[in-house]
Amino acid sequence: MSKKPRLGVNIDHVATLRQARGETYPSIVDAANISLSNGADQITIHLREDRRHIQDTDVEAVRLVTRKYGKPLNLEMGCNQEIIDIALATNPDWVCLVPENRQERTTEGGLNLIDDKVRKKVQKTCEAIKEKLPETKISLFLEANITVLEHAVKMPIEAVEIHTGDYAKAHLNGEDFSSYLSEFKSAEQFLKENETACHAGHGLTFESLSPLLDLKLFEEYNVGHWVICQAIFDGLGSVVSKLNEQFEGSNL
């Protein structure tokens, strides 16, 4: 039976607005409620080491909302012990391990598993999470690079989230993005052969989602910055509802 791909709404940038003035608004809890009540299949938040948007207390607050709706919480995080401890205490449904650089404006790419030091750290983090939270699923944020993916599928993970940032930028700039689609197809096929789910995220908009949904490549998409930006004009509920309709028309 066909099913629609999962729509994950990343609400980090609601917290970005809140932190810009040090206020208690806009409410991250309200953002989670509105997103889930308008069709989001999960909520994604990224607890960064520098705490530039999501704060420690937000994690449990959003967790309570997702439990109320019976929907997953996807916690993006680096391999930092303090953050790992918070994840272990919160027990999210999904953990997505991502690289972090204090100087970056946003996540700049996937984990470099070709680097021995990075690979060992990621492996150790996966094992620590699985030991304490065996029911929590793990995904790794990676480039659509087969060499990198070969390392990934050897780890105790359930999925890979493919970095779509460069593709999304090319789409936005009206450039030829066909090479990215070919890379995504190859990555999805490799992961499928290795019984690993294939997700996508970063930089995606309503328009750049369309070619990906048409190809039926990914089981899950996480969309954030564009959602919050468009919500300024259309309202968060309306934007999430529009995305949900787009996803419902693109069954896998």
1 domain-assigned? no
Q: What is the pLDDT of residues 142-188, one digit of tens each?
A: 999 999 999 999 999 999 999 999 999 999 999 999 999 999 999 99
Q: 46, 151, 163, 199: which is the annotated catalytic residue?
A: 46
Dihedral sign, Cα of residue 127, residue 131, residue 132, residue 137? positive
Cβ neighbors of 12 (< 8 A, separation 6 or more) are 44, 45, 46, 53, 54, 224
52 domain-assigned? yes
Is residue 202 annotated as a catalytic residue, yes or no? yes
pLDDT over 80 (residue 252): no
Overall number of domains in the chain: 1
pLDDT over 80 (residue 26): yes
Q: 53, 171, 199, 202: which is the annotated catalytic residue?
A: 202
Residue 90 in contact with residue 60, Cβ under 8 Å? yes
130 domain-assigned? yes
Structure letter (DSSP) for residue 61? H
213 domain-assigned? yes
| Domain containing residue 177 | 6-248
Mean pLDDT of the chain: 95
Is residue 199 annotated as a catalytic residue, yes or no? no
95 domain-assigned? yes
Residue 107 in contact with residue 99, Cβ under 8 Å? yes
Q: 76, 161, 188, 220: which is the annotated catalytic residue?
A: 76
Q: Cα separation of 197 and 139, whole Å?
A: 9
158 domain-assigned? yes
Closest CA to 168 of 155, 177, 158: 177
176 domain-assigned? yes
CATH assignment of the domain containing 35: 3.20.20.70
Residue-wise over 48-65: b if at least 16 C-beta within 10 A, else e? beeebbbeeebbeebbeb
229 domain-assigned? yes
